Amino acid sequence: MPKSIEDAKILIVATNGFEYSELTKPRDILAGKGASVTLASLDTDEIQGESGGEPQGKVKPDTTIGEVSAEDFDALVLPGGVGNPDTLRMEKDVVRLIQAFDNDDKPVAAICHAPWLLIEADLVDGKTATSWPSVRTDLANAGANVVDQEVAVDGNIITSRNPDDIPAFTDAIIEAVTSKAMAEAA
């Protein structure tokens, strides 16, 4: 683990239909704090973002999901949007990657509709989590204790509801990465 956020390596996984602000704002905040941030997708073609269901901006992935490994990163960030997590949860390599971060007890942060990916990876049973309102029944059915708050942290799982929660969501990611580093150093 890194000694501080400046030494952290953060992986973001997304594809077409991601909520633009939920990818770009955490990426920019984390990079602005000195973290190395990598975006992985299904391929390296530009991916289309959205805002409220309307197209908003494209982003070029740095690499593909098949070329990354949890062991090379300190945390995983999963932006929402409806189409993005719905597509990614059908990809076995994505689900295995999420599970690998969890198996390594590394922070896994999902916002908005992205907790669908945590459900698919079987990571929410017994955990406290939040999400976009339409995903909350799915979380409850998967065994989560569902709350309606800007960020929920339960062990290494971090969840948030929507773009308004991005500051708290990103702060929770930074806190998780740095507190894990301090615990390992002790």
DSSP for 111-167 reads ETTTHHHHHHTT--TT-EE---GGGHHHHHHTT-EE--SSEEEETTEEEE-SGGGHH
Phi then psi for 170, rounded to 5 degrees?
Answer: -70, -40
Catalytic residue, candidates 112, 152, 157, 177:
112
Q: Is 126 an active-site residue?
A: no
The whole-angstrom separation of Cα 120 and Cα 40 is 19
Catalytic residue, candidates 113, 127, 136, 161:
113
Q: Yes or no: say if 159 and 78 are a contact pair by the CB < 8 Å rule.
A: no
What is the radius of gyration, based on Cα positions, of the chain? 15
Q: Is 112 an active-site residue?
A: yes
Q: Taking the mean position of all CA atoms in its chain, how far away is CA 146? A: 18
Short-list 103, 107, 131, CA closest to 119: 131
User: Could you list the active site residues?
Assistant: 112-113
